[in-house]
Every structure is written in structure tokens, then in C-alpha cells.
């Protein structure tokens, strides 16, 4: 294939990947489901980054969104409930050269997967974690999830969810060694694209909570946000998610927020009067587990032997 450079000279690529190279089986979500928007955006980000499909892995747990690996033309692993993150960590530990993408949901990640969620964020392996949050268990037909708002009627709580919803942003921000936390809605294509692209460019675990439409079981979760954009707080900063003018015009509530400011991020995440959209936090200096665990691996056998001898010498009497 041929590619044009800005100076009009020709580059000849050995391979050029099109959207079709990243597509898998026909997606079977309900009409109007926000998962379609995320899937299409992931395909576009992969295409624009020209990631070889054979060097890319999509990993998921259980839930509607966890069907995503089936719809990718990459490698994939549709795992167990709540276990998307440990699987992804395992893939990355064994094959750090692969690009790892995790698709998980609010039930999968924040409930049964809550333990792996905390530790995976702390391990900060280089991967993208997309949490499709529709505030309901959709696949199993409308049970209360950790992010179901108080009062939402579900099949497990027909009189309304009794507890305050878990806040995934404050929890994630509170985990040691957290390095990237963003939030976006599935129905704003430019922000969805830029957020997922920024997540992919960040080195470390990029946690993206996507507020996702489930018109079948939790319409009341997204509808108010779709109908009243003033409920969303658009975050912008030169180091944040790029926001173009077409997006700025849509949201009257905006705030400049430096993603290096952890306390500011926590304050924004705790404020229940608005739903923040954009990059809350990024720390490019957080320890990446692959780097920490690879230290010393490039030593020669003689150097390794000398290091072992020296360690043993400390115990000599």
C-alpha cells in the first residue's frame, strides 16, 4: 500500500491496516446500545495507530460489554466474571510487547472484580481498561449493580436500589500508584475517540469509565444526561483530552483542570452535582510493573552469579 506524506513524497508501507482488519464477528447488542459506539471507536483508534492485529489482544470478563473480543479482528480472551484484569495482567506479564485492551462492565469490574480492579490499578501495567458503565447488570436482565443510583428500580430491588452508588472515580483515584483516570460518555464521538486515544498513548494502566447507554434496562441512567448537557462538566487543559470547538459549544459547564492535580481530581470526582467528562488525573511517573519486574533481566550469567554470591555472602558467619 502507498501512503502520502505532507511533502508529497511517497512512503511505501509493507502493510496498511484498514478498519476491516480490526473487525471481528457481527456485533450482537440491542439496538441503541452504547457498546456499538465504543467498539467502533476502538476500531478507529487501532486503525489510526496502525497497530498490527496480531500484536493486539482484547480481554474481557462477563457481561454485555465483555462480548467485545468477539467483535475484534485481533487476538481475544473472553474470560470469567470479574477476572478480565488478572487475565490481562497475565497476558502483559508474559508478552509485554503486545497491546492489551480490557473491556469490562460495572458489575464485572466494580463488584465481583473489585479486588483485581484495585490491584491492577496499583500494578499499573501498560494497558487500556475500558469500563462500560450502564449502572445495571444487562446480560442477566436488570439486577442492581454497584453503580445503580439510589432509587433505580431493578429486578433485585423493585422498590428502588437502597444504597448510594459506588463512585468509581474516587475509588480509582484513591488507589496507590494510579496513573490515568478519565471519564467520558458513549454518545459524544469526538470526546470518546480522543479519550480512548489518550488512554492508549499513556504508558501505564489507563482507566476509562465510559457512561454507557443501555436503553433496554437502565434508560434512566443516561437519558437525563443526554437531554440536559448542563449536568455534564467538561474538563479541559492543555495536558488533558483535546476538546474541539464543536464539543465546547455543546457543554455550558466547563472547567480548566490540570490532570497533574490529584487533589483537584478528587474534588471534581466527589462533586455529585455534575458528571465530569475528560481527563481527571495522569501521572506519567507512576511505577510501571513491567519495568520494575524487568530490572536486572539483562544481566549476563556471570553477573547474575556474582550477584547471587554477593547476596549469600551477607549470611556468612
Residue 35 interacts with ligand SF4 (CB under 6 A)? Answer: yes
By C-beta, is 190 or 215 nearer to ligand SF4? 215
Residue 33 interacts with ligand SF4 (CB under 6 A)? Answer: yes
By C-beta, is 30 or 225 nearer to ligand SF4? 30
Instruction: Give me the least distance between CB of 9 and ligand SF4, in Å please.
Output: 46
> What would the x/- binding string for ligand SF4 be over residues 3 to 32, using CB under 6 A?
--------------------------xx--
By C-beta, is 65 or 89 nearer to ligand SF4? 65
What is the spatial distance between Cα 229 and Cα 216, in angstroms, rounded to a whole number? 22
Hey, how many other C-beta atoms are within 10 angstroms of the C-beta on 258?
Answer: 15
What is the spatial distance between Cα 195 and Cα 208, in angstroms, rounded to a whole number? 8
By C-beta, is 69 or 138 nearer to ligand SF4? 138
At a CB cut-off of 8 Å and minimum separation 6, what does 206 contact?
127, 128, 129, 179, 180, 182, 198, 199, 200
By C-beta, is 14 or 26 nearer to ligand SF4? 26
- The residues with which 77 forms a beta bridge, in sequence order, are 59
Region 196-215 residues binding ligand SF4, contact defined as CB under 6 A:
214-215
Residue 221 interacts with ligand SF4 (CB under 6 A)? Answer: no
Distances from the Cα of 289 to the Cαs of 11, 81, 99, 172, 314, in angstroms?
36, 24, 15, 17, 28
Which of these, 88, 95, 21, lies nearest to 51 by C-alpha position?
A: 21
Instruction: Give me the least distance between CB of 215 and ligand SF4, in Å please.
Output: 6
Instruction: Give me the least distance between CB of 29 and ligand SF4, in Å please.
Output: 4
Instruction: Give me the least distance between CB of 94 and ligand SF4, in Å please.
Output: 31
What is the spatial distance between Cα 291 and Cα 289, in angstroms, rounded to a whole number? 5
What is the spatial distance between Cα 265 and Cα 182, in angstroms, rounded to a whole number? 10
Please state at what angle helix 189-201 crosses helix 35-49, rounded to 10 degrees: 50
By C-beta, is 161 or 178 nearer to ligand SF4? 161
Q: Where are the alpha helices (DSSP H) in the chain?
A: 19-22, 35-49, 84-94, 106-110, 114-123, 168-173, 189-201, 219-227, 245-248, 262-270, 289-294, 301-313
Residue 286 interacts with ligand SF4 (CB under 6 A)? Answer: no
Hey, how many other C-beta atoms are within 10 angstroms of the C-beta on 68?
Answer: 27
The answer to whether the beta carbons of residues 104 and 85 sit under 8 Å apart is yes
Q: Which of 59, 64, 125, 178 binds ligand SF4 (CB under 6 A)?
A: 64
Instruction: Give me the least distance between CB of 33 and ligand SF4, in Å please.
Output: 3
Instruction: Give me the least distance between CB of 138 and ligand SF4, in Å please.
Output: 3
Q: Which of 216, 229, 260, 275 binds ligand SF4 (CB under 6 A)?
A: 216
Region 105-134 residues binding ligand SF4, contact defined as CB under 6 A:
134
Instruction: Give me the least distance between CB of 248 and ligand SF4, in Å please.
Output: 29
Residue 68 interacts with ligand SF4 (CB under 6 A)? Answer: no
Positive or negative, the CA dihedral 190, 196, 198, 200 is negative
Q: Which of 73, 138, 204, 240 binds ligand SF4 (CB under 6 A)?
A: 138
By C-beta, is 53 or 63 nearer to ligand SF4? 63
Residues that bind ligand SF4 (CB under 6 A): 29-30, 33, 35, 64, 134, 138, 214-217
Amino acid at each position: 500500500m502507498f501512503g502520502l506524506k505532507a511533502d508529497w513524497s511517497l512512503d511505501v508501507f509493507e502493510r496498511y491496516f484498514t478498519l476491516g482488519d480490526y473487525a471481528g464477528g457481527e456485533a450482537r447488542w440491542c439496538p441503541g446500545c452504547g457498546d456499538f459506539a465504543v467498539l467502533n471507536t476502538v476500531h478507529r483508534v487501532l486503525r489510526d495507530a496502525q497497530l498490527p492485529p496480531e500484536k493486539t489482544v482484547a480481554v474481557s470478563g462477563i457481561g454485555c460489554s465483555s462480548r467485545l473480543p468477539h467483535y475484534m479482528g485481533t487476538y481475544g480472551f473472553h474470560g470469567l466474571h470479574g477476572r478480565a484484569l488478572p487475565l490481562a495482567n497475565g497476558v502483559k506479564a508474559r508478552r509485554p510487547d503486545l497491546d492489551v485492551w480490557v473491556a469490562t462492565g460495572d458489575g464485572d469490574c466494580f463488584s465481583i472484580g473489585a479486588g483485581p480492579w484495585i490491584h491492577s490499578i496499583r500494578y499499573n501495567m501498560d494497558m487500556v481498561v475500558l469500563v462500560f458503565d450502564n449502572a445495571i447488570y444487562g446480560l442477566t436482565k436488570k439486577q442492581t449493580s454497584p453503580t445503580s443510583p439510589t432509587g433505580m428500580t431493578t429486578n433485585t430491588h423493585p422498590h428502588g436500589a437502597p444504597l448510594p452508588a459506588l463512585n468509581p472515580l474516587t475509588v480509582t483515584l484513591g488507589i496507590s500508584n494510579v496513573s490515568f483516570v478519565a471519564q467520558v460518555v458513549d454518545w459524544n464521538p469526538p470526546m470518546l475517540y480522543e479519550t480512548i486515544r489518550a488512554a492508549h498513548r499513556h504508558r501505564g494502566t489507563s482507566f476509562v469509565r465510559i457512561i454507557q447507554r443501555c436503553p433496554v434496562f437502565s434508560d434512566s441512567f443516561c437519558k437525563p444526561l443526554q437531554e440536559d448537557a448542563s449536568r455534564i462538566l467538561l474538563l479541559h487543559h492543555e495536558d488533558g483530552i483535546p476538546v474541539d470547538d464543536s464539543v465546547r459549544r455543546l457543554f455550558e459547564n466547563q472547567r480548566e483542570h490540570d490532570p497533574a492535580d490529584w487533589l483537584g481530581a478528587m474534588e471534581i470526582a466527589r462533586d455529585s452535582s455534575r458528571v465530569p467528562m475528560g481527563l481527571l488525573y495522569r501521572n506519567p511517573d507512576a511505577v510501571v510493573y513491567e519495568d520494575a519486574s524487568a530490572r536486572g533481566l539483562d544481566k549476563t550469567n556471570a553477573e547474575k552469579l556474582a550477584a547471587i554470591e554477593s547476596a549469600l555472602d551477607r549470611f556468612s558467619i
